[in-house]
Structure 1
Amino acid sequence: MRTEPLMNLSYRQAEDGMMYPEIQISQEVQTDKTPVGKFGRAWKAYMMEHHPHRLSELIAQGEINKMILQVDEEAENRKEALIQELLSAQPMPETEDTLERADHMNMITLTAEEIIQSEVVLKVR
């Protein structure tokens, strides 16, 4: 019978006097502290709903945050490139109306995000 703990945890005392464990999800501290963008959150939600076993594997391997950040970075890079492609195909209107120009840019951004959803986010990794 095992008597030692499964994990040796260190704790920190918070302002409220409680002791909280300092849990690190992966081997890279910086990866665990990097905020996740909307594409990374969307990918995680997709994986939770459609491929929970694969998501569990990534969590067990300590690769989940790395994968989420990778998806987020890939999606953001693709979004920038796609916006430029769409602007080449549908140039900004030659008008002084700021609202019309903003609407055009919003339409292009939404179109790019829709394409990114299917190309990058909704993929099993």
Structure 2
Amino acid sequence: MTINGEIYEVENNGLLRSQSNRILYKQEISEVSGTPILAPQIEIIPEADNYPLGKYGRTLMKYMEENYNDRFWELTLEGTLMKKLHEREEQLSEMKLSFMEQIERTNPRPITDEILVTARHMEWIAQQAEEMVREELYQPI
């Protein structure tokens, strides 16, 4: 189906999804003259939610789809999944920066002219912060 020049496909679960993964509508059971029917419910997702997810958002989305499938589809059909994933990703990114600052306060950069020593130290700090964030990552939204 083509709408405004964009091609959409109907999925088995009733979603109408574009090639760019944008959900246009879902089907819900409605009653017309006392008879239940499947009727499309228009649901335009704001463009702000369509920007790509980062590493944490993609990981959390995959984790939820595999381990919390009902919640994943509930948020998808509500149209709030991407918004919640972006919010959680932002929280985790801020958390990582905060952890990096804490680690650097307790383990300051070495005072040296060797760039590789400083780079290795900063990489170590980033890895430590990443491990701390990973513990928080696998919490369903």
Same fold, judged at TM 0.5 (above): yes
Q: Distance in 2 between matches of 1:88 and 1:123?
A: 28
Tell whether 2:65 aligns with 1:48.
yes
- Letter of the 2:77 counterpart: A
Q: Could you tell me the percent identity over the aligned residues?
A: 25
Q: Distance in 1 between matches of 2:46 and 2:83?
A: 9
Q: Distance in 1 between matches of 2:80 and 2:2?
A: 20
Tell whether 2:35 aligns with 1:35.
no
Pick 1 or 2: higher relative contact order, CA cutoff 8 A, min separation 6: 1
SS at match of 1:93: coil
Q: Which is helix-richer, 1 or 2?
A: 1
Runs (4+) off by over 6 Å: none
Structure 2 residue aligned with 1:20: 7
- Letter of the 1:61 counterpart: E
Figure out how many residues of one structure are paired with residues of the other and give that number: 110
- Letter of the 1:81 counterpart: S
Q: Distance in 2 between matches of 1:45 and 1:114?
A: 19
Q: Unpaired segments of 5 or more residues in structure 2?
A: 9-16, 24-43
SS at match of 2:7: strand
RMSD over aligned CA atoms reads 2.0
Q: Assess, with a 3 A threshold, how the Cα gap between structure 1 residues 35 and 122 changes in structure 2: closer, same or farther.
A: same
- Letter of the 1:10 counterpart: I
Tell me the CA shift for residue 78 of structure 1.
Answer: 0.9
Structure 1 residue aligned with 2:114: 97
